[in-house]
Amino acid sequence: MENNIILTGDRPTGKLHIGHYVGSLKKRVEMQNTGKYTPYIMIADQQALTDNARDPEKIKNSLIQVALDYLAVGLDPKKSTIFVQSQIPALAELNLYYLNLVTVSRLERNPTVKAEIQQKNFERSIPAGFFTYPVSQTADITAFKAKYVPVGDDQEPMLEQAREIVRSFNSIYGEVLVEPEGVFPKKGSGRLPGLDGNAKMSKSLGNCIYLSDDADTLKKKVMSMYTDPNHIHVEDPGQVEGNMVFAYLDIFDSDKEHVADLKERYQDGGLGDVKIKRYLNEVLEAELGPIRKRRAEFEKDIPAVYQMLKDGSDKANEVANQTLEEVRAAIGVNYFDILK
Ligand code: TRP
């Protein structure tokens, strides 16, 4: 039987933004809707705690926001198992066995973790749980025997490490685990820059459009976007490179011919920023309006959203416990099986 299992997830540290949407959520929904896959979507609250241990309230509040964002973009609990990491005890035990299969120096070489350590100014006070989160992520993936992991480009080192752990495990204890592969966004459509022109849209930089932003907020944000600081008069020729309005149009507007035409007119001079921003706002509203509407519907019944997460977690537990049993048997820590 072909393995079409997908696992992916997000840290609940805030509401999801349109960078998450183009970088990963959209792809997940597409894959889900082909009907060819068995998707597991995890809210990684334990991973979020690795660098937020002193702010559990933030994680708790964000959990429901992320669940709402998932439902809003079209993840469907009938087609995808949506669950919560902390409710799956098998993941923690798998993590414990896998930790013995990596070295500290290998963990130190993970470029994404390295960058995060710098960005968060951890210096020498790195929480050990944070430092080892790629191992816990391997537990998340392998517990479901997932083959495909749709994630942003920054997660490639995690998959590399996951494959190494899987290979070590399988060669020492026998073939139990599945080697996962990443599914990355198409080149050029991957990373959405921030409203301010920063290469990354990120909550900490305050340059995001959230999936939950209302129409007015969206419009205000679009009108404040970074364009070409030297394009002062409408008739001046404008720069398209580094201009966020065009960066966003390239990603969100399917009418490529129209975008090419706008770029030409902008570069020639005579096309004003307000005009192109109004147009971008229309394009974004067409995509985000329906998402916002669905979110508002789900918001009316929050207990139902928790129930959905619980049902998903119950299902996820069955699968993860089965894998854990196989792992225990492979390692040989299933002593009492002889009593069965
Ligand atoms: N690291 C991912 C993020 O930063 C979240 C995550 C946790 C994840 N476990 C995972 C992603 C397993 C894919 C597979 O958002």
**pLDDT tens for each residue of 136-159:** 999 999 999 999 999 888 899 999
Q: Is the Cβ atom of 151 under 6 angstroms away from ligand 1?
A: yes
Nearest residue (by CA) to ligand 1, atom 5, is 10
Domain that holds residue 165: 5-191+301-339
CATH code for the domain in which residue 67 is found: 3.40.50.620
Q: 172 C-alpha vs ligand 1 centroid, how far in Å? A: 26
In a domain, 203, yes or no: no
In a domain, 205, yes or no: no
Q: 4 C-alpha vs ligand 1 centroid, how far in Å? A: 19
Query: How large a percentage of the chain has pLDDT more than 70?
Result: 99
* Single pTM value for the model: 0.94
The pLDDT of 108-120, averaged and rounded, is 90
Q: For residues 142 and 179, what is the distance between their CA atoms, to the nearest angstrom?
A: 8
* Same domain? 156 vs 237: no
* Residue 152 pLDDT: 82
The sign of the CA dihedral 318, 321, 326, 329 is: negative
137, 148, 178, 181: residue to mutate for ligand 1 pocket, most atoms within 8 A of CB: 137
* Residue 177 pLDDT: 98
Total number of domains in the chain: 2
In a domain, 143, yes or no: yes
Q: What is the mean pLDDT of the chain?
A: 95
* Residue 151 pLDDT: 87
Q: Is the Cβ atom of 47 under 6 angstroms away from ligand 1?
A: yes
Nearest residue (by CA) to ligand 1, atom 15, is 10
What single-letter amino acid sits at 141?
Answer: I
5, 6, 10: residue to mutate for ligand 1 pocket, most atoms within 8 A of CB: 10
* Same domain? 93 vs 149: yes
pLDDT digits (tens, 9 = 90+) for 276-316: 999 999 999 999 999 999 999 999 999 999 999 999 999 99
Torsion of CA 101, 313, 130, 159, to 10 degrees: 50
β 38-43/81-84 pair status: parallel
Residue pair 12/46 in contact (Cβ under 8 Å)? The answer is no
* Same domain? 47 vs 144: yes
pLDDT digits (tens, 9 = 90+) for 62-106: 999 999 999 999 999 999 999 999 999 999 999 999 999 999 999
* Same domain? 20 vs 37: yes
188 pLDDT above the threshold of 70: no
Q: 14 C-alpha vs ligand 1 centroid, how far in Å? A: 15
* Same domain? 148 vs 241: no
Q: Which atom of ligand 1 lies at the shortest distance from residue 7's CA? A: 14
Query: How large a percentage of the chain has pLDDT more than 90?
Result: 87
Q: For residues 249 and 294, what is the distance between their CA atoms, to the nearest angstrom?
A: 24
* Same domain? 109 vs 43: yes
23 pLDDT above the threshold of 90: no
* Same domain? 324 vs 261: no
